[in-house]
Amino acid sequence: MLSNEIRDKFIAFFEKRGHKIIPSTSLVPDKDFFESSDKHELLFVNSGMQPLSPYLMGKAHPEGKRLVNIQKCVRTQDIDEVGDNTHDTFFEMMGNWSLGDYFKEDAIKWSYEFLTSKEEGLGLDKDRLYITCFAGNESAPKDIESAELWEKAGIPKERIYFLESNWWSPGENGPCGPDTEMFYDITSDGLGNLTLEEYLQADQKQQVVEIWNDVFMEYERKDGKVIGKLKQKNVDTGSGLERVAMAVQGKDNIFDTDLFKEAYQLLINLPLDEKAKRIILDHMRTSVFLIADGVKPSNKDRGYILRRLMRRAARYTSQLGETSQVLTFLASFFAEKYKNIYSNLLTSDQIIKEEVLKEEQKFRKTLERGLKEFEKGVDPFILATTYGFPIELTEELAKEKGIHIDREEFDRKMYEHQKLSQTSSAGMFKGGLANHNEKTVKLHTAHHLLLAALQEVVNPDIKQKGSNITEERLRMDFLCDHKLTDEEKNKIEDWVNDRISEGLNVIRKEMPLTEAEKIGAQMEFGAKYPDIVSVYFIEDKNGNAVSKEFCGGPHVSNTKELGHFKIQKEEAVAQGVRRIKGILE
C-alpha cells in the first residue's frame, strides 16, 4: 500500500464516521488565528492540533464537532537525529478530532479498527501492536479507562504499559491531557510479549515505532501548570504518515518507503554515506514546503531555519563539484511529487528552484571562505558574523575533528551582537524608548522600579541587559540563572505597586561618571557612558533612594502617576538572560 492510498483510506474512514474534511493550513502560523501568547512565538506549525487550539478551548468550529485532515508540520528540535531510521523535519500528520463530541471509547475503537481492518483500514498485524497509557501524576489520575478499552478492543494486557510521559500539551498554555500511544513492531521476526523494561529498550533501539497518538484533551494549562478542566472533553489524534508507511510497507526506516525511495535513487551512485543522503533528502523536502509557504532564506527566525536546512544539505553536496545541481534537482522532484496533494506547489515550482539555486551558490562561496578560516582556528563568532558560517556547521566540523566549541560563550557574543544590530536598525530613542509620549514615559519609570524590584526580590546582583519601551508595554532583558517562579513574579509586582502607591518623587541629577559609579547607580551591562552622566533617583520622603539609574529620561515626576503594574510574560532569550514584559493598567 503506497502513501497516497494510506492518505485516502484515512480520510475516507473518518468521513464515513461523520467527520468533516478540513484542509491543511500553511506551515507558517497565522498570528491572528492563534489565541494564546505561546502560539504567537511559533516559527512553524508543528502538530495537527495547533491550528485548532481555539476550538479545543470551546469556540465553535464552522464545520462542526467532528473533523479530519492531514496537516503539514515542521519540527526542527530533533534536527541532529535526522539520518536515523525515523526522524524527519517535515512530516504529514493525519488526524481526527472530536470537539466536545465522542471521547475515549470511540477514539480508541476507531484507532484500532483503522490500524487492523483489512477492509477499511491498513490491515496491520494486531500481534505487533503495543500500547502506552498515562500513569497518573499530580495533574490527573492514572488512565485505567483507556487501558481497559484497549483490552476490550483486542490488545492483551501484557502489551499495555503505563508511563507518566503519556501527557500532551502544545506549550506552557492551552488545552492538554493524557494520551494513549500506539507502537508497531517493525522487526523481521517479531518481538512478542515484552516486559515494561524490554519494551522501553525496544523503543530506544527503534524496534518499535510510534504510529498513532490519541490525546484526550480535557484539561487547561497556564504558565506550565494544569489549572482545571476545559468546558468540553476533546479528542485530538495524530498519526505520522511517514512512520505509518514504514509499518504498512514493512520497512525499518522512513527513507525506504515510497515517500523517499524514488528520490533516494537519484543519490544512490553519489560518493556520499548513508546518513548524508538521508539528511539531504529530508532537508530538501522540508525546504520545498517552507519556500512554497512563503519562507525565504535569511539570518533570523523562519528564514534562518530554512537557511540552516539548505546549507546543511549543501555542505554534503559541495564536495561533488561546482557544477553539481543535486539540490535544485531534488527540489523540483519533491515539488512535482506532492503537487497534486498540496496545490501551492504547482504555482511555486519556479520560485522554489530559484531560491534553492541562489542559496546553494551563496553557500559555496561562504563554505570556501569559512573552511579556510575554520582550519586556522578562527573564533566561531567571527565565522558566523563575518563569514556567514552557521554555528551548527562549525559544531559539526569541530566534532569530526574532536574540537570543543564553547556554545554558551558563542550564544553570549551573538546575543550582544544581535541586540546592538536591532537597536541600530530600529533607530530607537536613547534608553530603548520608542517615543516620548505620556504612556511610554510612564512605562519608562515603571521599568526603573522593575529593575529595583528584581534586585530586591530575586538577587541584588541582577543586571539589566537591554530594554525596549513602547506606549503599550515595557520589555527588559536581565541577567538571571533561572526562570522566575510564580511566587517571585507576584512579589515583584507587589513591590513595584507598593512603591507606586507610596507616591515617591522622581529626581534627575547630573554628576561625574566616577561619582555615579561610587554611589552604586545602576547601568546597563556592557554599555559605555560619557564622563558626565544623568542619574535618575526614585526617593521616599526621607530622601532614601529605592532606585538610582544612569538614564537620559524622560520620566514622570512622581510614581503615583503610573497606575497598576502587571507582568505579562517572563521568558528566556539566551543562556543566562531572561526577559520580562510588563504593562501599566
Q: Are residues 74 and 37 in the same domain?
A: yes
Residue that the C-alpha cell 538572560 belongs to: 577
Look at residue 430 and tell me if it is in a domain. no
- Which pLDDT belongs to residue 418? 59
The whole-angstrom separation of Cα 431 and Cα 444 is: 9
Q: Are residues 449 and 537 in the same domain?
A: yes
The yes-or-no verdict on residue 377 having pLDDT over 90 is no
- Which pLDDT belongs to residue 36? 40
- Which pLDDT belongs to residue 466? 81
Look at residue 279 and tell me if it is in a domain. yes
Contacts from 391-400 at CB under 8 Å and sequence distance 24+? 392/308, 392/312, 393/311, 393/312, 393/315, 396/315, 397/371
The yes-or-no verdict on residue 514 having pLDDT over 60 is yes
Q: What is the pLDDT of residues 313-354, one digit of tens each?
A: 988 887 776 556 899 999 999 999 999 999 999 889 899 999
pLDDT band at 525 (very low <50, low <70, confident <90, very high): low
Look at residue 412 and tell me if it is in a domain. no
The yes-or-no verdict on residue 531 having pLDDT over 80 is no
- Which pLDDT belongs to residue 451? 93
Paired strand residues for 131: 160, 182
Q: Are residues 487 and 575 in the same domain?
A: yes
Average pLDDT over residues 181-196: 96
Q: Are residues 10 and 92 in the same domain?
A: yes
Average pLDDT over residues 389-408: 86
The yes-or-no verdict on residue 419 having pLDDT over 60 is no
Domain boundary among the residues 256, 282, 297 is at 256
pLDDT band at 292 (very low <50, low <70, confident <90, very high): very high
Domain that holds residue 521: 438-584
Average pLDDT over residues 240-250: 97
Say which residues have a Cβ less than 8 Å from residue 242's Cβ, sequence separation at least 6: 86, 88, 91, 92, 254, 257, 259
Look at residue 104 and tell me if it is in a domain. yes
Domain boundary among the residues 256, 278, 311 is at 256
The yes-or-no verdict on residue 526 having pLDDT over 60 is no
Residue that the C-alpha cell 498485524 belongs to: 125
Q: What do you get for the CA distance between the two ends of the chain, in Å? A: 60
Domain boundary among the residues 405, 427, 447 is at 405
The whole-angstrom separation of Cα 140 and Cα 219 is: 9
* Mean pLDDT rounded to a whole number for the chain: 88
The yes-or-no verdict on residue 386 having pLDDT over 90 is no
Q: Are residues 570 and 484 in the same domain?
A: yes
Residue 36 belongs to domain with CATH number: 3.30.930.10
Question: What is the dihedral angle through the alpha carbons of 306, 309, 311, 312, rounded to the nearest 10 degrees?
Answer: 170
Q: Are residues 389 and 293 in the same domain?
A: yes
pLDDT band at 39 (very low <50, low <70, confident <90, very high): very low
Look at residue 414 and tell me if it is in a domain. no
Strands 20-21 and 66-74: what pairing? Answer: parallel
Average pLDDT over residues 237-245: 97
Q: Are residues 294 and 167 in the same domain?
A: no
Look at residue 416 and tell me if it is in a domain. no
Q: What is the pLDDT of residues 87-115, one digit of tens each?
A: 999 999 999 999 999 999 999 999 999 99
Residue 528 belongs to domain with CATH number: 3.30.980.10
Burial 127-153 (b: 16+ CB within 10 A, else e): ebbbbbbbbbeebbeebebbbebbeeb
Q: Are residues 249 and 266 in the same domain?
A: no
The yes-or-no verdict on residue 238 having pLDDT over 90 is yes
The whole-angstrom separation of Cα 80 and Cα 395 is: 11
Q: What is the pLDDT of residues 456-501, one digit of tens each?
A: 999 998 988 888 888 889 999 889 989 999 999 999 999 999 999 9
Q: Are residues 495 and 523 in the same domain?
A: yes
Q: Are residues 335 and 361 in the same domain?
A: yes
Q: Are residues 36 and 93 in the same domain?
A: yes
Average pLDDT over residues 356-366: 86
By percentage, how much of the chain surpasses pLDDT 90? 60
Total count of residues recorded for the chain: 585
pTM higher than the cut 0.85: no
The yes-or-no verdict on residue 556 having pLDDT over 70 is yes
Count of structural domains, the chain: 3
Look at residue 426 and tell me if it is in a domain. no
The whole-angstrom separation of Cα 444 and Cα 432 is: 9
Q: Are residues 230 and 273 in the same domain?
A: no
Look at residue 413 and tell me if it is in a domain. no
